[in-house]
Structure 1
Amino acid sequence: MEQIKRYFESEFGISPSDWEIFSSKLERHEFPKKSTLLRLGDVENHLSFIEKGIVRLYIPNEDGELTFGFVFKDAFVSAYDSFLTQKPSEYVVETITDTVLWRLNHKDLQEVYAASAVGNLIGRRASEELFLKKSKRELSLLRESAEQRYLNIFEERPELIRRIPLKYIASYIGITPQALSRIRKRIS
């Protein structure tokens, strides 16, 4: 819990009393790789902070899976639209690697909002972080080539991207694994 405490102190300037309120609601969970955190059609009940690991968000379809997000350590992860509306999720949230999450359920987050000023800041920051990732991805799909999208991913997190199967990366940038192989060959 020390890692998340340091993160919250540096990002939010959380006071010891607010940390006490917030941390009392957090639950630590360990998940092996390929664990489903949220199934299609289930309601998201957790806002999670990744201490360790990589999480993938995807939409299953008849042709396979459409990956639309990766989330790495020191970031929030959630099927946030489902979390906010408390309606069934239209996608799946799954671990790619062994993962450690600090989770806060919907009811407890509402209590943190009511009991501390920093709770609202944390909720807002999580929301902003998730929104910015979504916007960045949408703009990338609209403005950049598949090769540029691949290079962007590789540039942002090279040490972690090597741990993500190429079929997920291909799906994320909107191409087939074969097309990704051609791009990788061309740029190497």
Structure 2
Amino acid sequence: MEEVYTGLRKSIEQYISLNEEEWQQIRTCWKPFHYHKNTVITSVGQVEKYFYYVHEGLIRGFFEKNGTEHNMGFTYNGEYSGVYDSFIFQRPSDWSLETLADSSGVRISYHQLEMLYSKVPILKEWTFRFNRQVMFGLGIFIRSLLADSAEEKFERLMSQSPHIIQIVPQKHLASYLGMTPETFSRMRKKWAQ
């Protein structure tokens, strides 16, 4: 379990520096979690209660429309997860969170995080910087979604995260990129040559 907290601290300290007392206060609020493969963590209509640091596993965010699932993103080792907009605003989610593999790590509740802001004020700076990074990534994703061809989307994915093809099922990656599994398969074969 110590390895999980070491990873969490390194992740937080990418944005801010913590002294030992601040870290200990933060650490005590993050509690272990474990979910089995294919567990829906948060469903549409539920309020997200937790923000997750994934030590091991694979989690996807998705929504369904007209009987078709649309993948919004994936979280794996060393990353944060959760239905973030629902968590931040404490309102019902309009998308779901599900494990694609057994997943474990630590999580913090909304109320614990709010309480920590008064005990460890620098944590607000971490939240600001984290949100700034999320917005930057979202801007890139939206631009790509609206303007890039299927080939450009695939090439960007392979250049930024080539390992993802080994851990995320092809049908989910195709959905994430807004293409059919057949198109994704053709591009994968072409890319491998």
1:81 and 2:85 are equivalent in the alignment: yes
Q: How does 1:96-175 map to 2 (within 5 A)?
A: 96-175=100-179
Deviations 1:116-156 (A, max 9, x none): 12221222233223322322210111221112211222222
Structure 1 contact 54–96 (Cα < 8 Å) conserved: yes
1:98 positional shift: 2.1
Q: State the identity as a percent.
A: 24
How many Å separate the matches in 1 of 2:65 and 2:104?
28
Question: How many pairs are equivalent?
Answer: 188
How many Å separate the matches in 1 of 2:112 and 2:177?
36
Structure 1 contact 27–104 (Cα < 8 Å) conserved: yes
Q: SS state of the match for residue 12, structure 1? A: coil
1:10 positional shift: 4.7
Structure 1 contact 76–126 (Cα < 8 Å) conserved: no
Q: Using a 3 Å threshold, how does the CA distance of structure 1 residues 100 and 34 change in structure 2: closer, same or farther? A: same
Task: Give the RMSD, CA atoms, in angstroms.
Answer: 1.7
Q: Using a 3 Å threshold, how does the CA distance of structure 1 residues 128 and 100 change in structure 2: closer, same or farther? A: farther
How many Å separate the matches in 1 of 2:130 and 2:45?
23
Structure 1 contact 76–130 (Cα < 8 Å) conserved: no
Which runs of no fewer than 5 residues in structure 2 stay unpaired?
none
Q: SS state of the match for residue 84, structure 1? A: helix
Q: How does 1:84-95 map to 2 (within 5 A)?
A: 84-95=88-99
Counterpart AA for 1:13:
S
How many Å separate the matches in 2 of 1:109 and 1:157?
30
Counterpart AA for 1:142:
L
What TM-score, normalized to structure 2? 0.89
